[in-house]
Amino acid sequence: MSGQAVAVILARGGSVGLSRKNLRRVGGETLVSRAVRSARAAPSIHCVVVSTDDAEIADEASRAGAFVIDRPTGLATSTASSEMALLHALSVLDRRFEIVVMLQATSPFIDPRDLDAAVARVFAAEADVVFAAIATPVFLWRQATAHTADVATPGWKGVNHDAAVRPRRQDLPPQVAETGAFYVMRADGLLAAEHRFFGRIEPQLVDERFAVDIDSEGELELAQALAVVHERFRGPSAVPIPKESLL
């Protein structure tokens, strides 16, 4: 629907790194429930959908207030791309939206205000895609092998700097790292490109203290410890607007 945004949370039942991770709890809530709550609290988002192949996740999503789309088994494997599942979800909806917001349930501290800010930037045509990111003024290195007189010497090489010239951190070129928490896209561009990155791409900087992506037990423990701190820093949540039925 023109002028409206839909949030799609992809939450399959399987997981490679952390078993049943979308149902693990942070701050007393499952990860999928937290993602639904964040999306519903953003006034710019008019509908919240969870795509899953798992009955338990579907029940949890419904209780949290999301519409559930049954994901085909072939789109719920570890090799199926997120874009394939996202395009399937959009094809099931019987209405069209101008903006698509893809949320990652394993990012438990998504601020609705960040979602609203990113959606506003896409609506205003400042970008075709806006993704969650943190600033990373760090010195990056990659493994590299030097070849001199047919002799291979293993070692490491600077990626974003010349190792022979040590700049100050503040003099490094601007760079950011994706958090994976959310991607806001023009729907028509997504359908044409069939990929989340197209056209003009811009980052939405989020609070680096809570930019946690859970893929392991250690990261889950870190998120559980941060949950108490996050509640102190989080401002008043936006009041969810009614989300009318779309299916």
pTM: 0.87
Average pLDDT (69-79) is 88
The count of other CB atoms within 10 Å of the CB of residue 237 is 14
* 3 state DSSP class of 128: coil
- Residue 71 to residue 85: CA distance in whole angstroms: 7
118 or 174: whose pLDDT is higher?
Answer: 118
Torsion angle in degrees (nearest 10) through CA of 56, 60, 63, 64: -160
CATH 3.90.550.10 fits 5-133+175-233, yes or no: yes
Tens-digit pLDDT profile for residues 3-41: 699 999 999 888 777 889 999 999 999 999 999 999 999
Tens-digit pLDDT profile for residues 140-174: 899 987 666 666 678 898 888 888 888 887 787 78
User: CATH 3.90.550.10 residue ranges in the chain?
Assistant: 5-133+175-233
Cβ atoms of 158 and 148 within 8 Å: the answer is: no
